[in-house]
Amino acid sequence: MCLSLQRAHHSYKRKTLLFVITQLLFNLTSTLTVNRLGDSDIKAKRRIELRPLTLPCFLNDVARISAPMINELTLYYLHKPNGEVMKLNLGKPSLARKEGLGEISKIVTKFVKNVRPIVKQTNDYDVFSLRKSVPNTFDTKVESMDPNEFILGPLGVEDHGNWVLSAYTKDLDDDWVELFQVISVVITEYLPANPTKPTLHPGDTFHLSFAFPVNGLQSCELVAPRSTFDRFFDRNLIETDTCGYVVPNITKNDKGLWKIIGVGNIVYETEVYLNVNKD
């Protein structure tokens, strides 16, 4: 069986990889219809896109999100990645709410032609874990929420992907306008690697994969150490469900941290430090 020869990208950073995944999710959103509502009398004359949000999360995390506030008559709808739509009961934020030691919430105002000013907190989202040892984390977060904020979670596999928040309001001409915001929930799960503590000699072959198969993998990527320049590798076609890679003819420059990123129902990652002994 022939193995395809590919080039490892050694200079990727975590932010770059997250950006690529987010862009993939965002591109898929352009094919969605996000204005299918139960209120059949709402027919938006204009659609205005707001700055998208990207939420890096882990399984079972909880996200707090602030919705844009125009006035008390604004209608809010949340579109899930599976196409379901739910109506949100949100209200005007208490802009004088204190956070911590007397700190007042900071806000930002966006102006759109022929639409009333759009007000939103600058700290417009927060992701926290229910597994942390801090007592009453969830209760504390809920009690400090403003009326224009809502919660997603605990997040599961089905929550990975693009959510769309739609806010419907009347403009200065009394026509309906839809303000929409894409919320990309990127859920990552860290898996053990195989092998866990590799030590090789120059000229050896390096085999790297997830420790067990993952259902539904759509793509895999190998990230080599920064010290490795112009590194080639073979994709192990026999182990497509474990993102298996074969790196031939190891050299001392291959010493360092190697990472595998697999994209399926969520994002899967693993990393190992390869030690290369001297001849």
Angle at 246 between CA 244 and CA 248, to 5 degrees: 170
pLDDT tens, residue by residue, 86-104: 999 998 776 554 444 345 5
pLDDT tens, residue by residue, 170-203: 988 888 999 999 999 999 999 999 999 999 999 9
Is residue 92 within 8 A of residue 147, CB to CB? The reply is yes
> What average pLDDT score do residues 107-120 get?
76
Phi and psi at residue 16, in whole multiples of 5°? -65, -45
Side-chain-side CA neighbours of 256 within 13 Å: the count stands at 13
CA distances from 117 to 4, 133, 180, 210, 242 (A): 55, 41, 15, 50, 50
Phi and psi at residue 156, in whole multiples of 5°? -120, 180
Q: Where in the chain is the domain with CATH 2.60.40.10?
A: 5-13+191-276
Instruction: Report the run of H or E that residue 213 belongs to, with start and end.
Output: none
Give CATH for domain 43-187. Answer: 2.60.40
Nearest to 245 by CA among 6, 1, 17: 6
Cis preceding linkage at 195, omega within 30: yes
Q: Mean pLDDT in the chain?
A: 80
Determine the pLDDT at residue 237: 64
- In the predicted model, is pLDDT for residue 28 greater than 80? no
Task: Tell me the percentage of the chain whose pLDDT exceeds 90.
Answer: 47
* pTM of the model as a whole: 0.75
Nearest to 234 by CA among 222, 245, 243: 245
CATH domain 5-13+191-276 topology: Immunoglobulin-like (2.60.40)
Tally of residues, the chain:
279
Is residue 58 within 8 A of residue 189, CB to CB? The reply is yes
Residue 22 DSSP code: H
